[in-house]
Structure 1
Amino acid sequence: MAINLEKGQRINLEKSNGSKLQNICVGINWGAIEKKGFFGTKKEPVDLDASCAVYDENKRHIDTVSFRQLKSNDQAIRHSGDDLTGDLNGDDGLDNEVITVDLTKLSPSAYYLGFFINSFRGQDFKDIPFASIRIYEGTPTRVQEVFAKYDIANDKAFEGSVAMVLGVFYKRNGEWKFNAVGVPTADKKLEQTVVTIQQNHL
């Protein structure tokens, strides 16, 4: 049974059978904006960009996986590719962008993995009809077990924002845990959000 995460909640990456998650998918799903006009409703494509920034034990930034760089230097983190539109015909239940992490292949220097979203065209989060994140085991095309999920749209806190920090995987005593951050930031660019996570969320 998947955990419905609340902001600020911290969880161990342990499955229902007691084993640890090793291959993790972080999937983001979102919808196109509906604009009502004289001639009915028009769909406006939404380009959200999911990214993962990697930091070492001293919180130094060492790598970023995004639509610009689809693989981490250690090959452990991979991005499914850029989705420029979102779901145009309502929620299809599928992720628009997926970042996969193989914890067994991560560089030993990786201590924090910060996941975040930037609205590439500057579209306000309050206008996006739905957006959610889920953490699951499997591959981008085959979901084995959904571990946790949370809704990141329809929150008044996101009004006026075009970037948000989703959450941070962090290593403690050799074990990986997850902190569901879920907060908007004032950043306009991906590089700024990398710094925001470094300063405020590790």
Structure 2
Amino acid sequence: MGVSLTKGQKVSLSKDGAGLTRIFMGLGWDAAKKGGLLGGLFGGGGGDIDLDASCLVFDDAGQPVDQIWFRQLSGVNGAIVHTGDNVTGAGDGDDETIKVDLSRLPASVKSLVFVVNSFRGQTFDKVANAKCRVVDDTSGVELASFTLSEAGSHTGLVMAKIYRHNDEWKIHAIGEKTVGKTFHDMMPAIQGTL
């Protein structure tokens, strides 16, 4: 089991200096349950929640290099691949997954910022168990996880950043609330994390 991160925490993804090559960021969520006996009796589940995971790629100067999202499932010459859009949040485990081959990223790539936004504008008070985890795609070992339980009227979250520091990949658990139906709306908050 990997490190369970708290908001603002930064940790290395490499163990004992071993080279990490392929990872995936799994993002998950559930529809919040409506309270009360009558709500449960009359189909009072939270309904479908269409959150979208995206990965924004930046260079040393903080300039965007590429974006991987449900309308562009591959980026940086195939080094980053989004496995597809989940429009309901149904099911256990990761609802959306973004695979990254770190060894294929050009040296000019400094950071990858992972965000989740509510495409239909549903606020996060309708979302439960928003979480992300980084997994070594070669061994299947979970390296780090980050859970957000903060409900609210926001429609987006800047979840985490994976960045290169002294030839080592690190993760920064961000958890910043923001507003936006796509990552385009969230760019000021995203660039503020660089």
After TM superposition, the score normalised by the length of structure 2 is: 0.89
| Structure 1 stretches lacking a partner, 5+ long | none
Aligned partners of 1:129, 1:176: CA distance in 2, in Å?
Answer: 29
Question: 1:140-179 counterparts in 2 under 5 A?
Answer: 144-152=140-148, 154-155=149-150, 158-179=151-172
Aligned partners of 2:164, 2:70: CA distance in 1, in Å?
Answer: 25
Aligned partners of 1:151, 1:97: CA distance in 2, in Å?
Answer: 15
Aligned-residue offset at 1:78 = 0.4
Query: In 2 relative to 1, CA 42–7 (structure 1 residues): closer, same or farther, beyond 3 Å?
Result: closer
**Partners of 1:26 and 1:100 within 8 A in 2:** yes
Aligned partners of 1:146, 1:37: CA distance in 2, in Å?
Answer: 35
Q: What is the aligned residue count?
A: 190
Q: Percent identity?
A: 38
CA displacement 1:130-185 (0-9 Å, x = unmatched): 2211111127xxx7101111212x22xx4110001011111122222111111111
Aligned partners of 2:182, 2:128: CA distance in 1, in Å?
Answer: 22
**Partners of 1:53 and 1:194 within 8 A in 2:** no
After TM superposition, the score normalised by the length of structure 1 is: 0.86
**Letter in structure 1 aligned against 2:12:** N
CA displacement 1:94-126 (0-9 Å, x = unmatched): 211000111000122211111100011111112
Question: 1:74-153 counterparts in 2 under 5 A?
Answer: 74-87=77-90, 92=92, 94-138=93-137, 144-152=140-148
**Partners of 1:33 and 1:46 within 8 A in 2:** no
Partner of 1:8: 8
Q: Structure 1 segments of 4 or more deviating over 3 A?
A: none
Aligned partners of 2:40, 2:168: CA distance in 1, in Å?
Answer: 52
Please provide the CA RMSD for this pair.
1.9
